[in-house]
Amino acid sequence: MRILLVEDHTELQHWLAKALRDAHLTVECADNGADADALLHTQDYALVILDLTLPRMDGLDVLKRLRARGGARAKTPVLILTARGGLEDRVQGLNLGADDYLAKPFELAELEARVKALLRRSVGNEALVHNCGALSFDTVTRMFSYAGNPLALTPREHAVLETLITRSGRAVSKEKLFDEVFSLGDDAGIDAIDLYIHRVRKKLDIPGPDAAVITTLRGIGYLLQPRSAVGAPATPGGA
């Protein structure tokens, strides 16, 4: 899942971004309100972590403009993270449409728990555990298991496989995978997805009909399905 971290304190931004990437999230960063507003106007995110005291545009204005924009992007969950922890600021932020509020200083474990809760809430009635053959993904712990054992993945391998398993049985375009795996600042081309597909395939390579298999659909994208289902028609997808 790709999230947007809006924080103008450089050291804190880097520390938080690393912690969130270690939690298997793709993190894009902005250090001012104007850039954040532009990104939210053009990009899709699973979550926004938003500081309030920002240069070029206050965080509350960023939030107000996001909610007023309409469409699916306007419903993006927002966690306000700020030193402005007074009651008036909290009430104003929540009234403008923030989903949660965490005052600085904070414990990283609490931030991670709130992030996970908002991400779970954003998927609504979707299953907490996604399965594809012997492969399982727990959306609470954000961990994969395969044939009953934990599956070790790099952050980008994790992002690829999460995108595929949450759309299991549906084709996912290379463009969608790229958006979920890489942030705008990453120096990578879209064909880098082929490398991560290759790496994930190697880790899923077990014998038997319950193996999870990634099939390439030429001109369409990729499809994750149990080996026993290979050859069955895929549901068009990619979103």
Residues 53, 75: Cα–Cα separation, whole Å? 22
The answer to the question of residue 235 being in a domain is no
Question: For residues 165 and 135, is the Cβ–Cβ distance under 8 A?
Answer: yes
Tokens, residue 189: 């081309």
158 and 115 in one domain?
no
Q: Longest Cα pair distance anywhere in the chain, in angstroms?
A: 59
10 and 114 in one domain?
yes
Number of domains present in the structure of the chain: 2
Per residue in 76-124, pLDDT (tens digit) is 999 999 887 677 877 888 899 999 999 888 999 999 999 988 988 876 5
40 and 15 in one domain?
yes
134 and 46 in one domain?
no
Name the residue range of residue 62's domain: 2-122
**Domain-ending residue, one of 66, 89, 122:** 122
Region class of 36: left (phi > 0), else alpha (psi between -120 and 50), else beta: alpha
**Domain-ending residue, one of 94, 122, 150:** 122
The answer to the question of residue 185 being in a domain is yes
The answer to the question of residue 234 being in a domain is no
Per residue in 113-164, pLDDT (tens digit) is 999 889 888 765 456 789 999 999 988 788 999 998 999 999 999 999 999 9
140 and 112 in one domain?
no
